[in-house]
Structure 1
């Protein structure tokens, strides 16, 4: 469990800098260069992600159950996951989905975390998915109180909504049917 917690701390450390002190983030990025900031941010995030994967793989085998969710919640989780991949794609495409949700990646993270909390009752899973849900909520709240930072995006197009939906649904299907069991070892449907 310790490795999972360390991984979460390392992963969220760079992700929380703008939440805690966006002015310090901007000054630091300016002094070391935006590319230097993004490189350090990415390296810390990758190390944290690697620790999370290994820590969760280890912790889920020995973690105690806090609750045993009813089987019907898996259907609710599957429905909550349906828009997740669409929102992830819409994050990078200027479209109505992006404008309506304002921060599609954060909405996707909240839905992903909530859906997994509904169907997983072990302590390790509650720590993992609860951390992401809390982080997404904190970031969303902080975004209301700090200046908007320009992010690179693809050109605006009327087809971007269609692309986000089609590609998102295709990714959902591939992940639910094949990749989830291959990468996580759990078959979402069955």
Structure 2
């Protein structure tokens, strides 16, 4: 199966992100599922296909691309708590400037919370996750996988900014985004709740990584 499974999973993942967001598919789904239902279904589908894609990459034949260095195994352990914090905090707050903000906490331009760090917290989390795992997994399948995700995340931030600016108008976009950044980690000031939930998610990922992915992230 090797490369065939990886290619199939990759193509399905790309299709699942291209088709449901395009008109007229997205309006049709939203009219039947509701906006919240659409985002929940889209997120569950994306995560399921992502899990298969990661497993398929691990099953692909090994072709070395990046030189191996033992210290790179520590990079995901150091970076993933930050990625979890961005993702969790981003989901807890409403976000008119990007996607994924389904939380009950309303967006306040004067106090944007995690959006001061990145107005695209889910994409920033994806970029950190992908970059860290690319260094720790230097074979061809994983370089393709994580390189694609990192590039998708960084390009996505710019594309969403452009689209939102056009939809809102320059004046409204500036008003809402004035205290946000595309990515500025120096502004990180998590609340206790955000930090607690992020720690729980990170611990769950550590526990589930070996049984789900088939490889322990711990370097010992």
Count residues in correspondence: 171
The structure in which a higher percent of residues are helix is 1
CA RMSD of aligned residues (A): 3.0
Calculate the TM-score normalised by the size of structure 1. 0.74
Structure 1: give runs of 5+ residues left out of the alignment: 150-159
Residue number in structure 1 paired with 2:57:
56
Structure 2: distance between partners of 1:179 and 1:47: 14
Summarize deviations over 1:42-64 as a string: whole Å, max 9, x none. 797477446525532431xx221
Equivalent position of 1:29 in the other structure: 26
Q: Find out whether 1:133 has 2:116 as its counterpart.
A: no
Separation in structure 2 between the aligned mates of residue 98 and residue 167 of structure 1, nearest angstrom? 17
Residue 41 of structure 1: CA displacement? Answer: 5.3
The runs of 5 or more residues in structure 2 that have no matched partner are 94-111, 168-189
Hey, what's the Cα distance between the residues in 2 that align with 1:7 and 1:16? 14
Mean Cα displacement is larger for which, 102-111 or 40-49? 40-49
The offset of 1:107, in angstroms, is: 0.6
Q: Give me the TM-score of the superposition, normalised by structure 2.
A: 0.65
Q: Is the 8 A contact 2:19 2:25 kept in 1?
A: no
Report whether the alignment pairs 1:184 with 2:185: no
